[in-house]
Structure 1
Amino acid sequence: MSHESSATPAPLLKTPLNDLHVELGARMVPFAGYSMPVQYPAGLMAEHLHTRSAAGLFDVSHMGQLRLVGPDAAAAFESLMPVDVIDLAPGKQRYGLLLNDEGGIIDDLMFFNRDHANGGDIFVIVNGACKAGDIAHIQAKIGQRCEVIPMPEMALLALQGPQAVTALQRLAPGVEQLVFMTGGRFTVAGCDCFLTRSGYTGEDGFEISVDASQADTLARALLAQPEVKPVGLGARNSLRLEAGLCLYGNDIDTTTTPVEASLNWAMQKVRRSGGARAGGFPGSDKILAQLDNPAALSRKRVGLMALERIPVRDHTALHSTNGTPIGEVTSGLLGPTINQPVAMGYVQPEFAAIGTRVNAMVRGKPVPMEVTSMPFVPTRYHRG
């Protein structure tokens, strides 16, 4: 991250819902080059708890949307990630990791197989701060093999929470039949949408891609439902941390491999053992060696719960109980749902076992923490 004083910062971009956020009294902050709502007048805590109990509406239009089109799209995309793209069935979504040649994570993303006629049509959603770099990377690596079509004209909304389906099916009958990580085209309140049953909160819910010109109409129709309230980036962060989900730039980046980041589950067996499609992704030699010999890792991402009610923030040093530095917190806050300080971070592998005691150094004082399994709050994805 550069801090050159001479460079004039680029003016902040605005999402198609900017006027609505202002009208709703949002506190706007810079995020990923956009002016984004961090919270509304209800406040972070109320917004977080409302999402866990009812339904929250999030503007995530800063994220990047693109399509990979052509008969070779799946095989081409699979060459960039340690993930099974070829066998993803039409109508289904999967989590993916874009890697550099050292096996570091360029970005994490979601991709969906929209192809129903074997023409090849993969819809991809990438992180806002990474989207320009991701699109350039994908274009450079596989642009000869398939069409890479950015979709800057599209907005993205997330409706999350146990009552999200109740609210959405009023406006789009049939969405209740979707299960977690499936999706399709729906007309929602007269707006032409592509939506998936997925999200970033640990709750049931939907992510809805809609043309920017219809985003305001759609958002107002959703907010008119009694279950739904607007939720900002602040609660989005606390919700995803309680769900044990990584934030790109905090918990994973180009210096971390999927194995160090405890994302082995995101690398399907077909890409990591034996067969014709094992390996062959950027950094595969290093990553496959780490999978074969976990003891050789220098660090591992773990969940941590404080044993005292003292919040432990990002970048807090972690020490062993005898005072040796062993790692660092990458995300941490007081979890509103469980009313306990929770964190994730990296520790040396010998300190990664569940139940291990470590100390977080908060303003020079040790705060005892325990390595714990994630998620911190049980997930409630609708698997049917």
Structure 2
Amino acid sequence: MSDTLPDDELEPIEILTLPLDAWHRAKGGRMVEFAGYHMPVQYDGIMAEHLWTRENAGLFDVSHMGQLTFTGTGTGPGVVPALEALMPADIAGLALNRARYSLLLDDEGGILDDLMLTRQADEQVYMVVNGATKYDDIGHMIERLPDEVTLNLMEDHALLALQGPKAVDALVRLIPGVEKMVFMQAGAFDWNGHALWISRSGYTGEDGFEISVPGDAVEALADALVAQPEVKPIGLGARDSLRLEAGLPLYGHDLDPTTTPVMADLGFALFKRRREAGDFPGAARILAEREGGAATKRVGLLVDGRQPVREGAAVVDAAGAAIGRVTSGGFAPSVGAPIAMAYVPAALAAPGTAVQLSQRGKVHHATVAAMPFVPHRYFRGVK
């Protein structure tokens, strides 16, 4: 006997709205469901929005992401060792107001999420996790954090990302001082009496900023930003094509619990002190893969022709047997050709290697390419 309910008896899943929901709709945003929220996929068109961001500045609403703070009491093990027990980041060596990319790992070294964290004070860390996984992340961490560490989900805050080569020109008119920050630096700022937390970071490969803002002030800030001549609102579609060109993985697609940092080509997130101590989850497996190589590896692909190859396509051998999988793919406006990310056997991971892809019964030819497909343009300071 089935224990499932008929479709007409299933409770509908509630789709949540962002603080800027009405704002997006008024701007012509076409709304779709993503990570449990209504979010704008595009306004003027993905291609136009992508190229505008590469040349000017795009405003993205990423308020679906989970903004967390971790605060210690000053007794017990403290925030830093508590978080280091969950991920391979060197948080102890992170200067105040500096950000770092890291990975939440399970006990076997699988990736539960990728995240950004910032050292706000000796006993306070700010963290941004993916929207689709934030509640699972919180549950996982709460089970493992000591009582002396408090986790707070900042549900009353929105998160905006201003990305592109002219992002700094637009933002500095509203918030003087942001131009002094460099890539992966953060700080507290005031805008019209509202406390903002701003980092010089992003998910497009371009220079830019992520701005944590109280939810009741986000519409006014968004209006002020798009009033700048360099800035237009940009949707999820261009966010995806921009990050793909930048070679940045998307959790739930290019990363999941079946992948390890070595398989995902994220070895830079394994810090030397932590490797030497071997004291992070899954360290034995991950360090063995780092030493001997993983069986499969995430690579970039340049696809022949004009037709994109999408997530779910198979990497196949000469006999047509599946030996890998495409995890992200699409047409790259700045490259002018279709590109993809895939997991392939280690023997095929070198740039220049020819591979075959199978999508809906059709074979496509591709070449393994170094990532990023478009050079990163992060601001690291005046040369």
TM-score when normalising by structure 1: 0.94
2:106 maps to 1:100: yes
CA distance in 2, matches of 1:320, 1:343: 18
- The answer for the alignment partner of 2:39 in structure 1 is 36
2: CA distance, partners of 1:340 / 1:160: 23
The equivalent of 2:56 in structure 1 is 54
1:322 Cα deviation after fit: 5.2
The answer to whether the Cα contact below 8 Å between 1:83 and 1:268 also exists between their aligned partners in 2 is: yes
Query: Partner of 1:285 in structure 2?
Result: 284
- Measure, in 2, the Cα distance between the counterparts of 1:50 and 1:257: 35
Match of 1:66 among 60, 63, 68: 68
Matched with 1:372 is 369
Aligned to 2:343: 346
CA deviation string 1:95-141 (max 9, x = no partner): 010001111111000000111xx3x1100000000111111111110
- Taking the aligned partners of 2:287 and 2:369, their CA distance within structure 1 comes to 26
Aligned to 2:302: 305
Q: Out of 151, 160, 163, which is 1:160 matched to?
A: 163
Deviations 1:277-312 (CA, angstroms, capped at 9, x unpaired): x21111111111111111xx2211001001222211
For the Cα contact (< 8 Å) 1:321–1:358, is it kept in 2? no
The Cα of 1:324 is off from its aligned counterpart by 3.9
Query: Deviations 1:136-163 (Å, cap 9, x if unpaired)?
Result: 1111101424111111111000000000
Separation (CA, whole Å) in 1 of partners of 2:267 and 2:28: 42
- How far 1:366 sits from its partner (Å)? 1.7
Query: In the TM superposition, what is the alpha-carbon distance from 1:190 to its structure 2 partner?
Result: 4.8
Task: Tell me how far 1:323 sits from its aligned partner.
Answer: 3.5
CA distance 1:83–1:3, change in 2 (3 Å): farther
Q: Could you tell me which amino acid in structure 1 is paired with residue 159 of structure 2?
A: L
Q: CA distance change for structure 1 residues 23 and 186 in 2, over 3 Å: closer, same or farther?
A: same
Once the two structures are overlaid, the 10-residue window that deviates more, 178-187 or 142-151, is 142-151
Query: What percent of counterpart residues are identical?
Result: 53
CA distance in 2: counterparts of 1:228 and 1:151, whole angstroms = 27
Shift of 1:365: 2.3
1:217 Cα offset (Å): 0.7
Q: Secondary structure at the match of 2:83?
A: helix
Matches within 5 A, 1:1-384: 5=7, 7-40=10-43, 42-70=44-72, 71=74, 72-115=78-121, 118=122, 120-188=123-191, 190-273=193-276, 278-294=277-293, 297-321=294-318, 323-384=320-381
In structure 2, the CA distance between the partners of 1:3 and 1:37, relative to structure 1 (3 Å rule), is farther
Judge which range, 242-251 or 319-328, deviates more.
319-328
Partner of 1:236, secondary structure, is: helix
- CA distance, structure 2, for counterparts of residue 235 and residue 101 of structure 1: 35
Given the superposition, is the C-alpha separation of residues 344 and 141 from structure 1 closer, same or farther in structure 2, using an over 3 Å criterion?
A: same
Map Cα deviations across residues 179-211 of structure 1 (whole Å, 9 max, x no partner): 000010112355321000000000000000011
Deviates more, 1:147-156 or 1:189-198: 189-198
Structure 2 residue identity aligned to 1:163:
K
> Would you say the 8 A contact 1:320–1:357 is kept in 2?
no
> How many Å separate the matches in 1 of 2:268 and 2:10?
41
Report how many residues are paired.
Answer: 373
CA–CA distance in 2 between the matches of 1:349 and 1:9?
A: 43
In structure 2, list runs of 5 or more residues that go unmatched. none
SS of 1:133's partner is: helix
Q: Which moved more, 1:48-57 or 1:323-332?
A: 323-332
Tell me: CA distance 1:219–1:310, structure 2 relative to 1, closer, same or farther (3 Å). same
CA distance in 1, matches of 2:222, 2:6: 38
CA contact (8 A) 1:246 1:252 kept: yes
Separation in structure 2 between the aligned mates of residue 65 and residue 152 of structure 1, nearest angstrom: 8
Task: State the alpha-carbon separation in 2 of the partners of residues 66 and 178 from structure 1.
Answer: 22
Counterpart residue identity of residue 119, structure 2: N
User: Which stretches in structure 1 are left out of the alignment for 5+ residues?
Assistant: none
SS in 1 for 2:286: helix
Residues 1:127 and 1:167: Cα distance change in structure 2 (over 3 Å): same
Which secondary structure state, in structure 2, belongs to the residue aligned with residue 89 of structure 1?
Answer: coil
Q: Which amino acid aligns with 1:54?
A: N
Distance in 1 between residues matched to 2:374 and 2:347, nearest whole Å? 25
The letter of the residue matching 2:54 is: R
- Cα distance, 1:3 vs structure 2: 12
- Provide closer, same or farther for how the CA distance between residues 66 and 140 of structure 1 changes in structure 2, counting only shifts above 3 A: same
CA distance in 1, matches of 2:272, 2:6: 45
Measure how far apart 1:82 and its partner are. 1.3
Amino acid at match of 1:188: W
Which string of whole-angstrom CA distances, capped at 9 and with x for unpartnered residues, describes residues 344-364 of structure 1?
010011111111100111332
